[in-house]
Chains A and B, each alone.
Chain A
């Protein structure tokens, strides 16, 4: 429905002349306290009727200055703070930091530590996708899926608790390897979880994926073209749903991903339904990766010998990893001291959030929740 506007309908700023508000437009603030934003995200939405005209994300509600904090923490200590960025892929964030330090030192990580890291990283990815599936069901009006996904996620969290000591913010990785060796129950329990996931994944399809009402809310909603995904810097499943090949595990392998056999999941449709299917297929790929490793974890040291006080050589170091939400980059500038001179994190959620106004252009307000659910935002990662 098009509206004709008279000049008297437009409110402008007295000083700058900037157009503030058109008559007939609503401005709705979604968040910062809103159940569908999964955190303190504030979206200012301009509406004409029910159609979204413009979205402006307002950030900063959970800014903790992690980058600045890292400047006074040593290279052993700053790893823990990255668990608090994307708390659902905490282990992978820690891995990125450790890899950046190892790259700078030229440190060779023992093969056992590499295998342990990959298995735990893929378990984290599965747990993260399970939580995303649970919450996207919850966002779109189904409470039951939540409990089905948490059944498997709980089993993974129990493994984390047994081996790492913590369920969510593990801090199990140290520069040069992992903190301690695997628990003796680890292999047995991981195998049990893998069979549990493979046995139960059909229930996910029965209860949510196959549901026509759910499908209709995702299909042809929130379209993002491949070109837009590139120009907004989208990564992870959000970009792979638009046909963009961006899996860091394939493109810039780290920690021995190059030796493993797995597929990069790409769908070309670019809508919410494509992003949904990317994640569902990625769960199975992660299961496949763990199955290759779990019976052949190499023997040997779990940690390379490092000095008590780690000092990086002068220079700039960058390391990227694939978290459950996209590409995380860790950029360290070192002046030769025991703490980083500058530490910058390129977080996947910040770039994915910037594409949401494009995805929601012309969509209805109810579709915005579906778009946000399939982009899978974690707010502390946006603000850091």
Chain B
């Protein structure tokens, strides 16, 4: 018996615990552990009766008021103005800067009014499923054509839905962004 003899068997060797004060220590530990437990419970009780100190956000319900940070990296977007014009001139700097090949830019040659051949984008393919949101494409873009969007709810049922074509049909490059 542990309590009477004061000997405890541990790993085959007997450890002698001082007989005097053993019982005191044994019950003392119970009381100190109970009091330390109650100290913690006091704190949880404090927050239980102060619900205004709770910081939890009710996420799906607060969609209307949810505001993402200014620099939040949600997805790569190619903004168009009201005349269906974007700033991308097809230099492919972002494609080279991308570490995991999530950007593919297909270019074509257009012949302008004065008869010169000019490189223009045909399709701006963005693979959201491969993107790691490292921001290197945005940094690399010389004409500030692409920016990071705020949308972050990207879950879909099929991977192919995440391959996006960013330039709208019939869109053109802005005059000031040409070359």
Contact = CB atoms under 8 A, between A and B. Distances in A.
Interface of A: 1-2, 51, 73, 76-78, 80-81, 144, 151, 154, 158, 161-166, 169, 171, 174, 179-180, 183, 203, 206-208, 210-213, 216, 362
Contacts of A164: 71
A383 to B, nearest CB: 18
A165 B40 contact: no
A165 B136 contact: no
Contacts of B70: 162, 183
B33 A211 contact: yes
A80 B148 contact: no
Contact of A206 (B43, B97, B134): B43
Contact of B97 (A77, A151, A171, A210): A77
A211 B36 contact: yes
Contacts of A208: 40
Interface residues of B, number: 28
27 contacts: A1-B12, A51-B11, A78-B99, A80-B132, A144-B40, A144-B44, A161-B69, A161-B72, A165-B73, A165-B148, A171-B134, A174-B139, A179-B139, A183-B71, A203-B43, A206-B39, A206-B42, A206-B43, A207-B39, A207-B44, A208-B40, A210-B36, A211-B36, A212-B32, A212-B36, A212-B37, A213-B33
A206 B40 contact: yes
Interface in B92-141: 97, 99, 132-136, 139
Nearest to A81: B99
Interface of B: 11-12, 29, 32-33, 36-37, 39-40, 42-44, 55, 68-73, 97, 99, 132-136, 139, 148
A217 B136 CA distance: 47
A164 B72 CA distance: 8
A212 B29 contact: yes
For B12, B39, B99, the residue with the greatest tally of chain A CB atoms inside 10 Å of its CB is B99
Contacts, number: 81
A146 B32 CA distance: 24
Given A206-B43, A211-B39, 8 more contacts: A76-B136, A77-B136, A144-B44, A164-B71, A166-B73, A174-B139, A211-B36, A216-B33
A144 B39 CA distance: 13
A144 B48 CA distance: 12
Nearest to A160: B69
A76 B99 CA distance: 9
Nearest to B56: A147
Nearest to B99: A77
Contacts of B148: 165
A77 B39 CA distance: 50
A207 B40 contact: yes
Contacts of B32: 212
B132 A211 contact: no
A271 B44 CA distance: 29
A302 to B, nearest CB: 13
